[in-house]
Amino acid sequence: MIVTATVNKVFESKAICRLDNGLSAVIHQSSILDDESKKLKDVLDFGHTIQGRIDKINWDDVTKFDVTLNCKKNDLQNHDNYKLALASSLGIPAEKIERTDLRNINFSIDSRPKQVGRFIPRRIAHEKFKNISSRRAIAELTDSEVGDFVFRPSTRSENSITLTWKFHKKNFVHIDIQEQGKQPQAAIGSRLVISNDYFESLREIVERYIIPCNRLVREVVSHTKFSDADAFEDMEERLKEEKKEAPARIPYRFAILPSYPQHIVLAYVPKEKVLKEFIKVRPKGFYFHEQNQAPFQMLINWFKDNWRTHDYQRHFKR
């Protein structure tokens, strides 16, 4: 299955990412780089979004597992070997594998040379566009108000723009914006794509994507159950204290942590263990358990009504 992941940490030989559903993912250096002379940090950075194929599911028990992704361009362009291996492991004919699980329009063949780790300066007429690197963008946004942002050239392609966005205090998001319908000598594509959402201009991205998400973030931050924590351990300690004071209750809290770009962390204590789930902020609402919820209180009510159900628990353990 082809999935989109957001990079959280980049190490020497692997990167730790998070899928849209909150599941952890690992990308090993050998699963993305063909050239051994290149370093993983040259192509990946904190907050970058990348697509890959789930090649392996790893788990210690039913409450802790992650997946391994293959992000090599050649492998994502041709799935024949993968289909044969997958069909063999499942004991079914290869033609039974759904093509929709293998489709990846973002890895089309492109023979043009690409710069790695550097950007090509561009002339784009927008007050928030700057020819700066990701590190410079974060440095400039550090002292800005929460919700501020900058558009900048992508280091991945000449037909992409990157949105660097101060989602919360120490939570920075890098979103890849694909350009389509780009005419020769045009400064920018006529159609801009973020995941499955389409826009006609950067201004429309501001109005239909960034502003609605900022509004949702403010809704979360103003809620009484929001914890202004920097790490999950801080949430965990507070929830354990609340559970100790009232053992019959199920305490819960929300936080926006630096390690999970564009996500709200939900933590709660049904018994003794502190459980953790992830809610992605999208323009149409809070994406949780494969559905959009808005306003925030509606999501909380849905969580309270459903967390004990079989369907909820089955989704949580996936």
Q: Where in the chain do CATH 2.40.50.140 domains reside?
A: 2-107
Answer for the pair 67, 31: CB distance below 8 angstroms, yes or no: no
The class of domain 2-107 in CATH terms is mainly beta
Using pLDDT thresholds of 50, 70 and 90, give the confidence band for residue 22: confident
| Residue that wins the pLDDT comparison between 13 and 163 | 163
Question: For residues 74 and 58, what is the distance between their CA atoms, to the nearest angstrom?
Answer: 24
Q: Where in the chain do CATH 3.30.505.10 domains reside?
A: 134-221, 232-316
Q: What is the pLDDT of residues 292-308, one digit of tens each?
A: 999 999 999 999 999 99
Chain centre to alpha carbon of residue 114: 24
Q: What is the pLDDT of residue 18?
A: 84
Transcribe 211-270 into DSSP letters: HHHHHHHHHHHTSTTB---SSHHHHHHHHHHHHHH-TTS--EEEE--TTSTTEEEEEE-S
Residue entry with tokens 């928030």: 128
Answer for the pair 122, 187: CB distance below 8 angstroms, yes or no: yes
Chain centre to alpha carbon of residue 250: 29
The CATH homologous superfamily to which domain 134-221 belongs is SH2 domain (3.30.505.10)
Question: For residues 276 and 4, what is the distance between their CA atoms, to the nearest angstrom?
Answer: 21
Question: For residues 315 and 111, what is the distance between their CA atoms, to the nearest angstrom?
Answer: 41
Q: What is the pLDDT of residues 88-133, one digit of tens each?
A: 656 677 666 665 444 443 433 344 444 445 788 998 989 999 999 9
Q: What is the pLDDT of residue 183?
A: 85
| Residue that wins the pLDDT comparison between 116 and 167 | 167
- Per-residue pLDDT at 172 exceeds 70: yes
| Residue that wins the pLDDT comparison between 64 and 63 | 64
Transcribe 63-85 into DSSP letters: TEEEEEEE--HHHHH--HHHHHH
Question: For residues 171 and 263, what is the distance between their CA atoms, to the nearest angstrom?
Answer: 9
- Per-residue pLDDT at 310 exceeds 60: yes
Give the domain 232-316 fold: SHC Adaptor Protein (3.30.505)
CB proximity list for 263: less than 8 A, separation 6 or greater: 18, 22, 256, 278, 279, 280, 281
- Per-residue pLDDT at 145 exceeds 90: yes
